[in-house]
Amino acid sequence: MAQLEAYILFLFVPLGAFVVAAASSVSVYADVRAENSQKGLPLPPNPLGRFLLIPAILVTPVIFGFILWALSLPFVAELEASVSPDVARVARLHLWSGIAFAWAASVTIASQAWVARRRIRQALGEEFGRVLPLVVIPETLSILAFILVFLILGIIVDVIDVGATLSPSGVEATILGLQVFAVSTLATPVGIAVSNRVTGLDGRGFLRALIPMEIGVVATIAALAWAFLQVGSLAA
């Protein structure tokens, strides 16, 4: 079961979110190009090159997931072969680490695709340089999730290799930290909803679009800091 969980949560969920988001972005890009062609409006130089930056950004959580999946490979087979209480705690911690990452990766990709769809016409115009940071900001969620889960999986590897034990209360506290972190990622889509109400990105408009998204990310950083404190209690 642990192997299947690793495949689904670290590989298939981020990859599935990327495929859906990329297809959605391609659809909007094609619609904009067709609309401009019908109206006889000029396109900026190298519009395809500008657009391809968006899928390149969207795929980052998939790469992170692959790294975490590879890190979990050495011990997932041992988790399935043993039924000891400590291995059961490790398996539960591994499961919730995967869930937290898969959730954060999906929220990241969905948020970035939402911004890209909303701002695609501006991205293909003169405001490309201001749209790109707005697309990149949600990437912070998957980076933070990667750091947190990487740390936890590293501890699990040490436990398996050295034969150390985990504190039962520490495991429960860490799982709670993962859950709080996952929920905190929803602050970014809320910030994006506010940001997307800003139409023009010139002058102060860019700041009005940027600040709500940054506030959402700060909430997740605070949750990450608290989760780190819980991870510190894992040692028995």
- Chain mean pLDDT for the chain: 87
Angle between helices 168-184 and 204-231 (to 10 degrees): 170
- pLDDT in the model for residue 98: 95
Give burial (CB, 10 Å; 0-12/13-18/19+) of 20.
middle
Q: 139 or 37, which is more confident?
A: 139
Instruction: Say yes or no to pLDDT of 85 above 60.
Output: no
Can you tell me the mean pLDDT for 197-213?
88
DSSP 3-state of 166: strand
- pLDDT in the model for residue 126: 78
Can you tell me the mean pLDDT for 101-121?
94
Q: 151 or 88, which is more confident?
A: 151
pLDDT band at residue 122 under the 50/70/90 scheme: confident
Structural domain count of the chain: 1
- pLDDT in the model for residue 1: 72
Write out pLDDT tens, residues 24-83: 988 888 887 777 777 766 666 667 777 888 889 999 999 999 999 998 887 777 666 665
Whether residue 124 is contained in a domain is answered as yes
Write out pLDDT tens, residues 163-174: 667 888 889 999
- pLDDT in the model for residue 82: 60
pLDDT band at residue 200 under the 50/70/90 scheme: confident
Whether residue 225 is contained in a domain is answered as yes
Instruction: Say yes or no to pLDDT of 18 above 70.
Output: yes
Can you tell me the mean pLDDT for 184-202?
92
Instruction: Report the CATH number that the domain containing residue 48 is assigned in CATH.
Output: 1.20.120
Question: Residue 191's domain spans which residues?
Answer: 2-231
The answer to whether the pTM exceeds 0.85 is yes
Structure-token pair, residue 40: 């006889």
Whether residue 236 is contained in a domain is answered as no
In this structure, the dihedral spanned by the alpha carbons of residues 41, 46, 52 and 57, taken in order and rounded to 10 degrees, is -100
Whether residue 217 is contained in a domain is answered as yes
- pLDDT in the model for residue 215: 94
Give burial (CB, 10 Å; 0-12/13-18/19+) of 207.
exposed
Instruction: Say yes or no to pLDDT of 175 above 90.
Output: yes
Q: Quote the distance between the C-alpha of residue 106 and its chain's center.
A: 6
DSSP 3-state of 126: coil
Backbone angles phi, psi at 196, to 5 degrees: -70, -15
Whether residue 190 is contained in a domain is answered as yes
- pLDDT in the model for residue 83: 53
Give burial (CB, 10 Å; 0-12/13-18/19+) of 33.
middle
